[in-house]
């Protein structure tokens, strides 16, 4: 990752810290959902690393689906307009849905998505997020499973991107502002 390190200001959360937290969250979800029909819904594309690690840490027979939902585009700030680019492939009626997301900051996307999934007949809908940026919250969203509370910095890595880049960094890092101010 030497080529990418020049664009990074600092590491916020290491891959080792992430691995430990994912194991902890997986154990809690296993306990909470014993005997229930669980669907993990990963939000493309950012949640993919977290989703893959989390599902391997859950000791239950879960099913998997994905959605692509966004309020950002190529910007560093939310547009406030939520767009579903790819919907679920399977019916969630009567199932316990855990929406897996890389980060929640404004909460706008999840404040639209959670009620939509409930309207579709899910038995329950909870959120599992890797990164929580409460300082930027604009919509009230309850998150049951939280990995890490982070400051109001523009972050990349472990699925989080800037203009579709940097998702492959193994740690959660603060992106140097020179990268996104020169655009």
Please tell me the distance from the alpha carbon of residue 102 to that of residue 109, in angstroms, as a whole number. Answer: 12
Q: Average pLDDT, whole number, for the chain?
A: 92
pLDDT band at 77 (very low <50, low <70, confident <90, very high): low
Q: What is the rounded average pLDDT of the residues 56-75?
A: 85
Question: Based on the number of CB atoms within 10 Å of its own CB, is 81 exposed (0-12), middle (13-18) or buried (19 or more)?
Answer: exposed
Q: Are 106 and 76 in contact (CB under 8 A)?
A: no
What is the edge-to-edge ordering of all strands in the sheet holding 83-86?
83-86, 63-70, 38-44, 96-104, 124-132, 145-149
| Burial label, 85 (beta-carbon count in 10 A; 0-12, 13-18, 19+) | exposed
Domain boundaries defined on the chain: 16-152
Chain-centre distance for alpha carbon 134? 14
- Which pLDDT score, from 0 to 100, does residue 181 have? 85
Residues 55-71 have a mean pLDDT of 94
* Strands lying side by side in the sheet with 172-175: 8-13, 172-175, 155-156
Q: Residue 70's pLDDT band (boundaries 50, 70, 90)?
A: confident
Q: Reply yes or no on whether 105 is catalytic.
A: yes
pLDDT in tens, 12-60: 999 999 999 999 999 999 999 999 999 999 999 999 999 999 999 999 9
- Residue-wise pLDDT for 102-117, tens only, equals 999 999 999 999 999 9
d(CA 113, CA 99): 9
- Of 53, 105, 161, 171, the active-site residue reads 105
How would CATH label the architecture of 16-152? 3-Layer(aba) Sandwich (3.40)
Model pLDDT, residue 180: 85
pTM: 0.91
């Amino acid at each position: 990752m030497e080529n990418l390190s020049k664009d990074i200001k600092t590491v916020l959360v290491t891959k080792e810290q992430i691995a430990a937290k994912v194991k902890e969250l997986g154990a809690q979800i296993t306990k909470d959902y014993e005997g229930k029909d669980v669907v993990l819904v990963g939000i493309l594309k950012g949640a993919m690393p977290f989703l893959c690690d989390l599902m391997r840490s859950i000791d239950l027979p879960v099913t998997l689906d994905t959605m692509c939902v966004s309020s950002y585009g190529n910007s560093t700030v939310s547009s406030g307009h939520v767009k579903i680019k790819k919907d679920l492939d399977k019916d969630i009626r009567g199932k316990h849905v855990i929406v897996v997301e890389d980060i929640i900051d404004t909460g706008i996307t999840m404040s639209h998505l959670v009620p939509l999934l409930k309207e579709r007949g899910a038995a329950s809908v909870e959120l599992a997020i890797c990164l929580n940026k409460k300082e930027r919250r604009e919509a009230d969203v309850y998150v049951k499973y939280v990995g890490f509370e982070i400051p109001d910095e523009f972050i990349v890595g472990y699925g989080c991107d800037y203009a579709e880049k940097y998702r492959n960094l193994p740690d959660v890092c603060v992106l140097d502002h020179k990268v996104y101010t020169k655009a």
